[in-house]
Amino acid sequence: MCVIFACLHERLFLNLMSRRWLAMYCAQMLVGDISIEPVHDGTAVLATDLFVNSDWTDHQHLLDSQGALTIPVGAFLVRNGDHLALLDAGVGDVHNDMFDGGKMLDSLRSLGAEPDQIDTIIVSHLHPDHMGWLAVDGDITFTNATVHIGAADWAHFVDEGNGGRRIAANLRSVEEHVELVHDDGVALLPGMTTRMTPGHTPGHMSTVISSGNERLIVLGDALHCPAQLTELEWEFLYDVDAALARKTRAALVEEASQPNTALLPCHFAGMQAARLVPVGDAAPQWVFS
């Protein structure tokens, strides 16, 4: 119910920020003592017809002058005690009609992190724009990192080869670093646990970062754009199981109605988190930060 009531607020807020979102990346986020920072790798351009059953009439402010959706591509750097972790691994040095990548290593260094300092990588799913820097032509980028991947995604993309031979071969090159995740609630680092969020891919996996009563759920591609916060029925063309993805999306958005819970997708404007905030006696509204 809160999602429907928040719809107007989402449109008004996004309209105010739409003109400058591509130039802006949000600052450090904190969950207790855990720091999360966006790592920019590039951008992707999505045609609106990739969103099945979509009507963009009320979301024109999200579109560029060509009527397409231009979204950030990247990862999140997490500083957690003595650990330096990455959530996802960007698209890599790829330049085509959809992706314009290649900036991730420079972005990491601008944040004071070298690839060999990363000890943990949690990959939400095995689409190319989330695992592109794991290996480049078979050479491992993050040589000291353990890579956590949903077991069902590994089976789908690597064992069964559904992502193509090149992706499977690149992932095989990091196999000795990979630990497969089968379940919810697996503690990968202090305050960081797994949440299986299938549908977009079979083993899609979110990461829950928590400290005290604060929670940040890092979503990968469980949500692709802010319109899906209120348009839950919109499917994405590349969802492996569209019905399951819709169910997962609805559950995550409902969970955001709980106090002190924020959602952090990979592709929102500015790589920002979304939080439902009470507004007196009025309906709660989405706030981005």
Q: Which domain holds residue 257?
A: 2-22+32-288
Residue with tokens 């950030």, as numbered in its chain? 72
- The dihedral region occupied by 143, where left means phi > 0, alpha psi between -120 and 50, and beta the remainder, is alpha
* 149, two tokens: 């991947």
- The dihedral region occupied by 154, where left means phi > 0, alpha psi between -120 and 50, and beta the remainder, is alpha
In a domain, 88, yes or no: yes
- For the chain, the domain total comes to 1
Question: What residues are paired with 73 via a beta bridge?
Answer: 42
What φ, ψ does residue 273 adopt, rounded to 5°?
-90, 155
- The CATH number linked to 239 is 3.60.15.10
In a domain, 96, yes or no: yes
Distance between CA 288 and CA 245 in Å, rounded? 23
Q: Are strands 205-211 and 29-31 parallel, antiparallel or unpaired?
A: unpaired
In a domain, 27, yes or no: no
Query: For each of the chain's 289 residues, which pLDDT tens digit applies?
Result: 333 333 334 443 443 333 333 334 567 899 999 999 999 999 999 999 999 999 999 999 999 999 999 999 999 999 999 999 999 999 999 999 999 999 999 999 999 999 999 999 999 999 999 999 999 989 999 999 999 999 999 999 999 999 999 999 999 999 999 999 999 999 999 999 999 999 999 999 999 999 988 999 999 999 999 999 999 999 999 999 999 999 999 999 999 999 899 999 999 989 999 998 877 777 778 888 8
In a domain, 249, yes or no: yes
In a domain, 115, yes or no: yes
What φ, ψ does residue 115 adopt, rounded to 5°?
-55, -35
